[in-house]
Copies of this chain bind each other. A is one copy, B any other.
Amino acid sequence: MSAQTRAAPDPVPSDMPESSTLALFAGTARAGAAPGGATQILARYLAATRPADLPAAVRKEAHRGFLNWVGCTIGGAHHDAARNAFAALAPFAGPAHASILGRAERTDAPLAALVNGIASHVLDFDDTHLATVIHPMGPVASAALALAEARGGVSGADFVTALVLGIEAECRIGLSVFPEHYDRGWHITGTAGIFGAAAAAGRLLGLDETRMARALGLAATQPTGLRVMFGTMTKSFHPGRAAASGLQAALLAQAGFTAAEDAIEGRRGWAEIVSTRFDPEQITGDLGHRFEAAFNTYKPYACGIVIHPVIEACVNLRAAHAPDPDTITSIELAVHPLVLELTGKAAPRTGLESKFSVFHAAAVAIVRGGGGEAEFSDEAATDPRVVALRARVRATIDPTLATDAARVILVLADGTRLEEKIDHAVGSLLRPMSDEGLAAKLTALASGVLPAPRIEKLVDLCWRIETLSDIAAIAVFARPA
């Protein structure tokens, strides 16, 4: 039908529902928001909390999460996703006040937040809040560090407070709509992450309750992250965009930009639009007593969590027995059903594919004794010794095993059977990664990117953030020169 012949519709189609016609009246005044809704209550908490209100264990967990973020971000800094994003937007960049971790360049704070957020997630090695599958630190730390550098003089103690409160905002809002929100197709790390970034940036800017609520409102109105993007660079764009947009939301609120007071819980607000379920109590309950930041976890291995117990068992068997792979007749795995559902790829051809192969994971752990990025590289996936051994891996489902448990038996040519059972893999809530493990993870991720002395210094500074008078000191050592 051509433009010329199409009949002109009535300006307001007669069959248009009443709610649609309201659109013709842009700016229609809304009924006042109920006072004390979730948005306002959360904003008040975020604005009013004092550093001393945060328990030491919670602050400690923020140190661990930040250190993990530093490592992942440096490790991902040269991935195509981070490189392309920086190349695309650098020609429009402003004052070089903020660092891109693992790279020599500095750039403006929102762009640094974007690129660091992308880099932090691109290896799928970042932290996990298991109750929501949010990767909390990427959006929060990427926004907070970039802003802190641009402002200058932000103390480590204030910075840690901003991280904790950012994660509270993010994970509590995520919990309020999980799992329906996620199942619907939203990548919750992006959609919840922007609240975390806005809250953390808002803290560093010293926003009062009213402006903090507006920052949350500006965050609510731009949910980012569709799961259709999984498997593309845009997946890691989500925490990057969340970091940059959350930071900008706080800056806009600081400058007097207004937003709905009931952005999260209101009619036609965030929760109603992005989920079929909303439990505001998850946002407002036990504020100052329940800390979601205490429930962050970290991956020791550079692949999906359900393979981790198998890798740990294999690493332990290798350490205990140093078996020659050629003498191994078979590797027998007993695993939770999800393991084969999610990682049943028998013959991965690339590093990325190998992350979805429990067969590769077991074989490479026996051959090389680890499960880091190097063990899930293209090179490792096609290493003849690994390829040969993984053909002798047999996996059996055992529904009695938890997802953080596995049994592995090595059967040797002489008939010897070497068995290892993992009840709770390292990196689970019940067996968290040790501080030493986290430091080693950062070191491995940063090697080849930063000189060794800088890495050592970086680890040291991360453990004593709260002694720093200016958090920007950390960024200095996260750059190669």
Interface residues of A (CB under 8 A from B): 1-4, 6, 8-13, 16-30, 55, 57-58, 80-81, 84-85, 87-89, 91-95, 97, 108-110, 121, 124, 128, 130-131, 133, 135, 150, 178-179, 182-186, 188, 190, 217-218, 220-235, 237-238, 241, 248, 251-252, 254-260, 262-263, 266-270, 272-273, 286, 289-291, 294-295, 297, 304-306, 338, 341-343, 352-353, 355-356, 402-404, 428-430
Contacts and interface: CB of A to CB of B under 8 A. Distances in A.
Oligomeric state, in number of copies? 2
A317 B392 CA distance: 92
A353 B28 CA distance: 9
A197 to B, nearest CB: 14
Given A3-B55, A57-B4, A229-B260, A304 B26 contact: yes
27 contacts: A2-B290, A3-B58, A3-B291, A10-B403, A12-B130, A17-B179, A23-B133, A23-B188, A26-B124, A26-B135, A27-B124, A28-B356, A80-B256, A81-B257, A85-B255, A88-B254, A91-B94, A92-B108, A220-B228, A221-B234, A226-B260, A226-B263, A226-B273, A232-B259, A233-B257, A234-B258, A234-B260
Contact of A227 (B29, B87, B268): B268
Contacts of A257: 81, 84-85, 88, 233-234, 237
A27 B229 contact: no
A217 B223 CA distance: 15
A269 B27 contact: no
Given A23-B133, A27-B230, A128-B24, A272 B185 contact: yes
Select the residue from A27, A225, A259 with max chain B CB neighbours within 10 A: A27
B95 A12 contact: no
Contacts of A94: 91-94, 108
Contacts of A341: 18
B259 A28 contact: no
B20 A230 contact: no
A241 B93 CA distance: 17
Contact of A229 (B263, B295, B304): B263
